[in-house]
Amino acid sequence: MRPTAFVFFAVCADSRMESRSSATTAGSFCRSRFNKRSDLVRPGVPSLRHTDSAQSLPVLRAWHSTPILTRVVTKPQSPITHEPVLAPQLVQALVTDRGGTYLDATFGRGGHTRAILAELNDSGRLVSLDRDKDATQDAHELEQRDIRFSFSCSKFSELRDVLNELDMPNVDGICFDVGVSTPQLKDAERGFAFDIDGPLDMRMDAETGLPASEWINKAPIEDLSEVLRTYGDVRNARSIARQIVARRPLGTTFELVRAIRAATPGSATSARILAQVFQAVRIYVNDELNELQNGLVQGFDALNVGGRLAVISFHSIEHRLVRDVIQSWVRPPVPKGLPVRNKDEDPRARHVVKNVRPAYIERQNNPASRSAMMQVVERLR
């Protein structure tokens, strides 16, 4: 038995040596990784950068057991940009006359506006609208550089008034991009995003109307649940509304998030529910659906015969509204039993592009485009 015991001892010794070697290698590897993270500071713990391999593991244990001081050196971030969705497809379907007159009802950060201007010749003209005051600086800079372009800080429902002021009774094309822009979502002060803490505002025009917090803190539970159900398709709207009322007053986005999560504990789809609730509140606060419907009607009436109207929408509620309005132009309702159609019952428009979605490459490069859908119609009479 002694030779066996000796062999066993030798194997154990080799194993311990190998373990020490592995530990030393692991310590060197970990130290090199943590050297790259020297922006995190632990009180009373030596820097990993000045520790040799034999001391690295004890230092790592001390490093992990000590709270982090809140001194984090962040890398400079690149400016937040907004990628226009379906821009080539929109320009191709919308612009039928390169010397014509067009209107972009949602300037945003100017992505679609610049794409349309690039397609127009020197005789072309483009007007853009936006109710967001943050969009005005980029728009006015573009006005100074391009004489073909004009901008008005206005809502969809003011579209007809803007065209009258510019002495433009009719246009050859109008486009609506109904989504919230990336700079709006990433600006904590606007309160649009559930993953960034900030004031619970959500107004498209921060200088008019009531912020979301004022409505949320005063609305009855019945109104809260109805808004969540109607504008967000929120299934457990009543439970969420109860939690909001119980936790009032709410002043920040994270306070609203905590109320939502309290009503949906352990939900695997919490991010989806958060998005639905924030969407519902935003739509209500800005009266977005009425604004969109008014803009579509006024825009279609301002089109020349043969002119086109394009809409890019981003969620099911907008999709339904846009389809219903377009359907009233393409296929007007006719009373049953009429032997002859009146001229007023003939279609006013035809589909040019229907239910176009971004291609796979665009969805990969711009995840915000994944739910977008574009419709384009042409006026017939």
CATH code: domain of residue 374: 3.40.50.150
Reported as a pLDDT band with limits 50, 70 and 90, residue 10 is: very low
User: Is the pLDDT at 52 greater than 90, yes or no?
Assistant: no
The CA distance from 201 to 196, in Å, is: 13
Task: Give the pLDDT confidence score for residue 342 in this predicted structure.
Answer: 62
Domain boundary among 65, 86, 112: 65
Same domain, 98 and 213: yes
Residue 72 lies in a domain: no
| Cβ(300)–Cβ(379) below 8 Å | yes
Task: Give the pLDDT confidence score for residue 345 in this predicted structure.
Answer: 74
Mean local confidence (pLDDT), 314-338: 87
Reported as a pLDDT band with limits 50, 70 and 90, residue 5 is: very low
In this structure, the strands spanning 149-152 and 101-104 are unpaired
What pTM, to 2 d.p., does this model score?
Answer: 0.76
Record the tokens describing residue 190, joined without a space.
């606007």
The domain containing residue 121 runs over which residues? 77-335+344-381
Residue 71 lies in a domain: no
User: Is the pLDDT at 61 greater than 80, yes or no?
Assistant: no
Same domain, 113 and 153: yes
User: Is the pLDDT at 63 greater than 90, yes or no?
Assistant: no
Residue 40 lies in a domain: yes
Task: Give the pLDDT confidence score for residue 341 in this predicted structure.
Answer: 60
Q: Which residue has the tokens 């100074």?
A: 144
Same domain, 195 and 312: yes
Same domain, 56 and 199: no
Reported as a pLDDT band with limits 50, 70 and 90, residue 153 is: very high
Bridge partners (DSSP) of residue 353 are 376
Q: Which residue has the tokens 């969705």?
A: 85
Cis peptide before 88 (omega within 30 of 0): no
Q: Which of 155, 150, 142, 147 is nearest to 114 (CA)?
A: 142
User: pLDDT tens for residues 258-271?
Assistant: 999 999 887 655 88
| Cβ(109)–Cβ(81) below 8 Å | yes
User: Is the pLDDT at 23 greater than 80, yes or no?
Assistant: no
Helix (H, G, I), strand (E, B) or coil at 218: helix
Domain boundary among 42, 65, 88: 65
Mean local confidence (pLDDT), 88-107: 97
Measured CA distances, 3 to 6, 82, 339 (Å): 5, 75, 110
Same domain, 186 and 299: yes
Of the ranges 129-133, 212-216, 221-225, which one carries the lowest mean pLDDT score? 129-133
The CA distance from 289 to 231, in Å, is: 9
User: pLDDT tens for residues 299-315?
Assistant: 999 999 999 999 999 99
Task: Give the pLDDT confidence score for residue 57 in this predicted structure.
Answer: 52
DSSP E strands in the chain: the ranges are 101-104, 125-129, 149-152, 171-177, 303-313, 349-356, 373-379
Contacts of residue 153, defined as CB under 8 A and 6 or more positions apart, other chains included, come to 129, 130, 131, 133, 135, 136
The CA distance from 93 to 236, in Å, is: 40
Task: Give the pLDDT confidence score for residue 42 in this predicted structure.
Answer: 44
The CA distance from 82 to 138, in Å, is: 12
Residue 7 lies in a domain: yes
User: Is the pLDDT at 81 greater than 80, yes or no?
Assistant: no
Task: Give the pLDDT confidence score for residue 49 in this predicted structure.
Answer: 46
Q: Which residue has the tokens 């309160």?
A: 191
Task: Give the pLDDT confidence score for residue 9 in this predicted structure.
Answer: 35
Residue 293 lies in a domain: yes
Residue 43 φ/ψ, nearest 5 degrees = -70, 135
Task: Give the pLDDT confidence score for residue 217 in this predicted structure.
Answer: 98
Same domain, 144 and 47: no
Domain count, the chain: 2
Contacts of residue 93, defined as CB under 8 A and 6 or more positions apart, other chains included, come to 308, 310, 352, 353, 374, 376
| Cβ(93)–Cβ(72) below 8 Å | no
Max CA separation in the chain (angstroms): 111
Same domain, 50 and 81: no
Mean local confidence (pLDDT), 190-205: 95
The CA distance from 362 to 355, in Å, is: 16
User: Is the pLDDT at 361 greater than 80, yes or no?
Assistant: yes
Reported as a pLDDT band with limits 50, 70 and 90, residue 340 is: low
Same domain, 61 and 82: no
Task: Give the pLDDT confidence score for residue 333 in this predicted structure.
Answer: 73
Task: Give the pLDDT confidence score for residue 39 in this predicted structure.
Answer: 41
